[in-house]
Amino acid sequence: MIETLIIADDLTGAADCAVSCVTAGAHTVVLLNAKADPGGATAVSVDVNSRAMMAQEAGTAVTGAVQHLYSKSTRILYHKIDSTLRGNWPSELAHIRQAVTNVLGHAPLVIVAPAFPGAGRATIDGQVFVNGNPLGNTDLWKQAGLTGSGDLRAILEDVGFRVGMVTLEQVALGSEALKARLAKWADAGCDAVVCDAQTEDDLLAVAAAILMLPGKPLWVGSAGLMRALVRAGEGEVVPSSAPVWAAAGRPILVVVGSASSVSRTQFDALTEEQGVRSLTILPSALRESSAQEQVQPYAQALDAALASGADVAVTIGGEEVIFQDGPQLAAALAELIAPHLSRVGGLIVTGGETARAILDRAGISGLRMQGEIEPGAPIGASIGDITIPVITKAGAFGDAATLKRCRAFLRGDPSNHSNSAKSG
């Protein structure tokens, strides 16, 4: 029985959110297809791959996921959204709420709290901030080609929701007072309530209050709120031991598909490590109009690097990467990378679109989640034609040494990583 169902719009988000369930001892899987067999998992996170879809198409995708996986016995339904509000999440939320209403016979109260303090994301007066800057002023917002602001109330009102608000001052009063405030908004006929949060304690208070509400609210947030939910509901679980993900003498393959400057810094730091060979692929070589002979040299270089026994780091660069070309570049990169996965001892991928494309192309239907190397870098065992450890990471997460620590973990070097993964 699925007790916790997470619906996400990209793979890195699906995995990052799901890993919190592992810490609570749940058998947890990430699925690339809502119709795939969850294999008895009690916590299921499904990537509907809707980040780059048109709004109506995204709505259809999330509706299908609810119809296939949600039931009255599901305790938690969690709509995982991007902490910087990219994608079609407002339209998706409206469709998810309607699909849940069809199952339960009544509309659930929606609680929206996208803050992720550990990644520098906060919500203040209903506005999203990234590292202290208003979302609308950040490079992340501009790179995604987005306009407007991170005003959650306005965004939700635009899709027809009646919206209430819980401020930081109200959150600070504690979970009991917060529960009463949320109930008041529900009694006033609100469809959704936006909750401010600036710290982990803020999110914990929000999560504890939501858990005390009657019925089954619809949770909406980034991985930050899910972590708080697990702590508030189950208590924080510290694994007693971690699996050893030995590379079995085979190379580790690292693929950086994100255009984030953070990812670029991480890639550069990784390529300075001994035993790592790098390969930078021109975007023009991956575009649909490019001749096959432009891609062939990269395929040969990747083959030679893996044959040498070295770990290999691959990225797209050397030319301007246009945001709108993302899906096309990810698909072309997957065509190049996927045939080599049977030769590697582990895969590390930055960028949800890239991760999804590679796994899909390699016949991998999901991930059996094990834990995380550090916040934002979950690890799982692939399910499907190939079984290897896979670490996924959102582009803007982590510091300069994150990819180095992920590689060290797969190499079984306990001195160079934060050992927080758990077998399960």
DSSP 341-389: GGG-SEEEEESHHHHHHHHHHTTEEEEEEEEEEETTEEEEEEEES---E
Length of the chain: 424
Task: Report how far residue 209's alpha carbon sits from residue 181's, in angstroms, rounded to the nearest whole number.
Answer: 9
Higher pLDDT, 422 or 53: 53
Per-residue pLDDT, 145: 67
Per-residue pLDDT, 291: 58
Q: Categorize the per-residue pLDDT at 247 as very low, low, confident or very high, splitting at 50, 70 and 90.
A: low
Question: 120: helix, coil or strand?
Answer: coil
Report the percentage of the chain scoring pLDDT > 90.
69
**Using one digit for the tens of pLDDT, what is the confidence trace for 215-239?**
899 999 999 999 999 999 865 444 4
How large is the angle between the packed helices 352-361 and 326-337, nearest 10 degrees? 40
Q: Categorize the per-residue pLDDT at 418 as very low, low, confident or very high, splitting at 50, 70 and 90.
A: very low
Number of helical (H) and strand (E) elements in the chain, helices listed first: 15, 18
Question: Which residue in 134, 122, 220 sits closest to 171, CA to CA?
Answer: 122
Per-residue pLDDT, 403: 95
**Using one digit for the tens of pLDDT, what is the confidence trace for 339-377?**
999 999 999 999 888 999 999 999 999 999 999 888 889
pTM: predicted TM-score of the whole model, two decimal places: 0.90
Residue 132 has pLDDT above 70, yes or no: yes
Task: Report how far residue 27's alpha carbon sits from residue 264's, in angstroms, rounded to the nearest whole number.
Answer: 34
Which segments of 105-248 does DSSP mark as H helices, in order?
A: 139-143, 152-158, 168-171, 175-187, 200-212, 223-234
**Using one digit for the tens of pLDDT, what is the confidence trace for 65-89?**
999 999 999 999 999 999 999 899 9
Higher pLDDT, 378 or 240: 378
For residues 44 and 65, the answer to whether their CB atoms sit within 8 Å is: no
Per-residue pLDDT, 78: 98
Mean pLDDT lowest among 11-20, 178-187, 217-226, 411-420:
411-420
Q: Average model confidence (pLDDT) for the chain?
A: 89
Residue 420 has pLDDT above 50, yes or no: no
Please state the rounded mean pLDDT for residues 270-298.
84
Task: Report how far residue 211's alpha carbon sits from residue 133's, in angstroms, rounded to the nearest whole number.
Answer: 31
Please state the rounded mean pLDDT for residues 294-315.
92
Please state the rounded mean pLDDT for residues 136-155.
78
Domains of the chain: 4-234 (3.40.50.10840), 252-416 (3.40.980.20)
What DSSP element (H or E) covers 253? strand 252-256
